[in-house]
Amino acid sequence: MFNSIRFPLCKEDEMKAFVKLMTLIVLFSLVVSCGGTPATTEPAATEPPEPGATLPPVTEVPLTANEQWAKDNGLGPYQPATDDWAAIEAAAKLEGSVCVYANSSKVAKLIDKWNALYPDITFDCGDTDYIDTKMRAEQEAGNVVGDVWFNSDGHILYGEFVPNEWIWSFVPRDVVEPEVTAEQPFAIARHSIDVWGYNSEIHPEGCPITSWWNLTEPALAGKVYTEDPMTDVSTMAKWATVAEHGDEMAAAYLALYGVEWTTDPAAAPDAFGQTVPNAGWLWVKKFAQNHPVVVDEIDIAYASVGMDPNVEPGIGWTGWNSVEDTAAGDIVMAPCLDLAPSLGIMKTSYLGIANMAPHPNAAKLFIKFALSPDGFHPWDAIGSYSGQLGMETDAEAVMPFSEVLTKAWLMNPIYDWEWAAKVRDFWAISLLTPPSE
């Protein structure tokens, strides 16, 4: 009977459609039975790769030779959070000496105190001229002798030595917090103030001038004494500080003369095409044109207001602490403390360790010592202030440091580095141009 049954034959297209339909039904059944979701839903997240499996390796920037040396010796950004002074002193004794380049003859007064503390470590070098030139040459030659930078040329320190990795900072962790920042990390030994001084015997009534602008007037032509700013980088940086304070110099000009500084004939471009950016630059130009007497040694500037019979007394740019020499009878000088717009200019003495210094641990000991009361003692006089603001000093009894900051200009080493050379060129050209009528 079954053999007699006959199925009709399907067309070829109908058979293909039937097969596709059956296939979809089977797949749908499998998905549902496995707990899946329809294909139209968002696909499940894939497993994250193993950590680091597909990421490129991190390449560390290799340290320079100077950076590696600083890291090995715990200097600059590699200084540890805690200073192991027992280990530092033991290593310093093995080094046997320390060479300090200081721009002050008073550094010699530290030797006895140092020897009492560290008899096994010889205090070497000392008062040194042209510290930046000397240490630059040593770094470039790879023959380092000086261990410690003890100098006030902050614009050279931050503008040249830091970028070249020639000097590294070291700030003892367990001393009174010094005035340091991330941008200016070097330990500060002291601040000292340069002022305009006069002969107090000739002028018993007091300072004969009231403003910095008086120094540019014909009455004082050839009677103002200063170190040569063309050769003394510190003096040129101070004139850059004057240029930085143009607004204050403008106010002082207006207060003295009753007109704006821009009305001054010297404010016009000169024959060389030099323009005057602000009243501070105008002062530099007019001061240069008023024939100041430049000297090589500041002692001559002292004599200019004191006891040198060969020099006509006038106004001298000198340290406020020169009153010590007056007390000793060497000169007769009093500071002009009420000048507009500034009492004077405050310079800063920085402490740093030379790159590749032969005695880095002894240098660390010296910096800690220099920041102590014994280390500051030779400079504890009128016009000088310890970098350790919590330290009591004799100088603060005359005028507290907080008051000095409101009356004097603090040098900005970053600004001075950027502008000192430009001010020097401006000064040099101003010397060649006659005063404006």
Q: What string of H, E and C letters represents the secondary structure of 70-114?
A: HHHCCCHHHCCCCCCHHHHHHHHHHHCEEEEEECCHHHHHHHHHH
355 and 335 in a single domain? The answer is: no
78 and 140 in a single domain? The answer is: yes
Amino acid identity for residue 82 in this structure:
T
141 and 179 in a single domain? The answer is: yes
If phi over 0 gives left and psi between -120 and 50 gives alpha, with beta otherwise, what is residue 175?
Answer: beta
Exposure pattern of 394-416 as b/e (b: 16+ CB <10 Å)?
ebbeebeeeebeebbbebbbebb
Cβ(187)–Cβ(171) below 8 Å: yes
- Could you give the CA distance from residue 237 to residue 234 in angstroms, rounded to a whole number? 5
Strands 345-354 and 187-198: antiparallel
If phi over 0 gives left and psi between -120 and 50 gives alpha, with beta otherwise, what is residue 320?
Answer: alpha
- Could you give the CA distance from residue 238 to residue 251 in angstroms, rounded to a whole number? 19
Q: What string of H, E and C letters represents the secondary structure of 318-376?
A: EEHHHHHHHHCCCCCCEECCCCECCCCEEEEEEEEEECCCCCHHHHHHHHHHHCCHHHH
- What's the whole-model pTM score? 0.82
Count: domains in the chain: 2
CATH number for the domain that contains residue 187:
3.40.190.10
103 and 219 in a single domain? The answer is: no
- Predicted local distance difference test score (pLDDT) of residue 43: 45
- Predicted local distance difference test score (pLDDT) of residue 209: 97
293 and 148 in a single domain? The answer is: no
Tell me, yes or no, whether 21 lies in a domain: no
Tell me, yes or no, whether 411 lies in a domain: no
Q: SS3 helix, strand, coil % of the chain, rounded to 5?
A: 45, 15, 40
Q: Cα torsion for 170, 173, 175, 181, to the nearest 10°? A: 60
Classify 160 as helix, strand or coil. Answer: helix
Tell me, yes or no, whether 17 lies in a domain: no
**C-alpha closest to that of 356 among 61, 64, 62, 60:** 64
198 and 332 in a single domain? The answer is: yes
109 and 168 in a single domain? The answer is: yes
- Could you give the CA distance from residue 355 to residue 139 in angstroms, rounded to a whole number? 8
Tell me, yes or no, whether 206 lies in a domain: yes
Give the residue ranges of the chain where pLDDT is below 70. Answer: 1-59, 297-298, 395-396, 436-437
Helix (H) or strand (E) holding 40: none
308 and 422 in a single domain? The answer is: yes
Domain extent for 235: 193-345+418-428
End-to-end CA distance of the chain: 140
Tell me, yes or no, whether 359 lies in a domain: yes
Beta-carbon contacts of 350 under 8 Å, excluding residues fewer than 6 positions away, are 149, 150, 151, 152, 154, 157, 186, 187, 188, 189
Q: Which residue has the tokens 């105190």?
A: 113
Please work out, in degrees rounded to the nearest 5, the angle formed at the alpha carbon of residue 351 by the alpha carbons of 124 and 106: 55
Q: What is the DSSP letter of 161?
A: I
Tell me the residue ranges of DSSP E strands in 228-314.
293-295
